[in-house]
Amino acid sequence: MPPLPLDELVADPVEAVEKLAQQEGQAGIPHPKIPLPRDLYGEGRINSAGLDLANEHRLASLSSALLSNAMQKWQAKPVLEQPVADGEMTPVINPAEPKDIVGWGREATESEVEQALQNAVNQAPVWFATPPQERAAILQRAAVLMEDQMQQLIGLLVREAGKTFSNAIAEVREAVDFLHYYAGQVRDDFDNETHRPLGPVVCISPWNFPLAIFTGQIAAALAAGNSVLAKPAEQTSLIAAPGHCHFAGSGRSAGRRATVAGTGRNRRRPAYRRCACTRRDVYRFHGGRDVVAAQHRHAS
């Protein structure tokens, strides 16, 4: 290959773009074969929005959001159809800063777990009768709500789960993508006459992806017409509260079909064992082998 002339090597790229713009009649025309990030998946679904951490203004905005988040004391408790009492709340500590109390949470009582199970059974026929297109629209609205609150969710993930900004951004984006993905699946391919639900679904999510997997498990089950009983990890129960609110805010019916109860510490209690073994048809679990082994023994 012959060497390039020096004047081409040191040419001003701005001038090159301006010359090209004169030829095309417009500056910065996108290549027709290269989709923008938002349109990465074509007509199937939109891509989740990201944040540019190389942008100083964006970093300043995130830092401000984190400071604002630190002023808010989050609470997590069982979410049922009926109001529940605060009960005995225990502090949730920032794993990276022991002096930072992120919020307060409490476990579900045995009676609350029983009620949550009964709610899931009672609501199953009603939710299944909802047209798949309506279920898809609800999930898409939940995705919009979650994306609108991205910075708030990032702040909570950083404080409660010890995530970095980049990991927290990826976590929220994955949760949003799950909602859009499952909405697209049922919107185009599902029919209540040919695609029957499996029944009440128990979803147990882990601490390392406390929003993404929590959201993905619930979204998949709700999209397919199942009612849900969801349990976040004991280490990251606070992030489940706004996670559930996005389902409730996207449609009252979705919030009623997705019930949140309990934490990981309940695994040795009779109510928790019943959660895994009775009045449920599907059990979705992400977590440690000791817990899944215990659940397998009780479910066998």
Q: Which amino acid is at 232?
A: P
Lowest mean pLDDT among 126-130, 215-219, 280-284, 290-294: 280-284
Average of per-residue pLDDT values in the chain: 83
In contact, 106 and 204? CB cutoff 8 Å: no
H/E segment holding residue 104: strand 97-105
For residue 294, the model assigns a pLDDT of 60
144 SS3 class: helix
For residue 27, the model assigns a pLDDT of 72
In contact, 204 and 273? CB cutoff 8 Å: no
In contact, 146 and 174? CB cutoff 8 Å: no
For residue 124, the model assigns a pLDDT of 87
Report d(CA 164, CA 95) in Å as an integer: 12
Sign of the C-alpha dihedral computed for residues 79, 85, 90 and 94 taken in this order: positive
Q: Per-residue pLDDT averaged across 242-259, rounded? A: 64
For residue 55, the model assigns a pLDDT of 92
For residue 169, the model assigns a pLDDT of 96
What is each CA distance from 198 to 68, 228, 279, 280, 283, in whole angstroms? 42, 11, 12, 9, 11
Kindly list the domain boundaries of the chain, sorted by start residue: 56-299
Q: What is the pLDDT of residues 111-169, one digit of tens each?
A: 888 888 888 888 888 899 999 999 999 999 999 999 999 999 999 999 999 999 999 99
For residue 266, the model assigns a pLDDT of 46
In contact, 139 and 179? CB cutoff 8 Å: yes
Name the nearest CA neighbour of 153 among 217, 215, 242, 74. 242
Q: Per-residue pLDDT averaged across 263-270, rounded? A: 46
In contact, 103 and 92? CB cutoff 8 Å: yes
Q: What is the pLDDT of residues 18-74, one digit of tens each?
A: 888 888 777 767 778 889 999 999 888 999 999 999 999 999 998 888 888 888 889
Percent of the chain with pLDDT over 70: 82
Question: What CATH number labels 56-299?
Answer: 3.40.605.10
Lowest mean pLDDT among 198-207, 210-219, 256-265: 256-265
| Phi and psi angles of residue 204, each rounded to the nearest 5 degrees, phi first | -120, 120
Q: How confident is the model at residue 281 (pLDDT cuts 50, 70, 90)?
A: low
Report d(CA 137, CA 179) in Å as an integer: 10
145's tokens: 């709500």
Kindly list the strands in the beta sheet with 74-76, ordered across the sheet, starting from the edge strand earlier in the chain.
74-76, 97-105, 90-94
For the ranges 161-170, 202-211, 262-271, the one whose mean pLDDT is highest? 161-170
Query: The whole model's pTM is what?
Result: 0.81
For residue 249, the model assigns a pLDDT of 65
How many beta carbons lie within 10 A of that of residue 56, not counting itself?
Answer: 9
Q: Per-residue pLDDT averaged across 172-199, rounded? A: 91
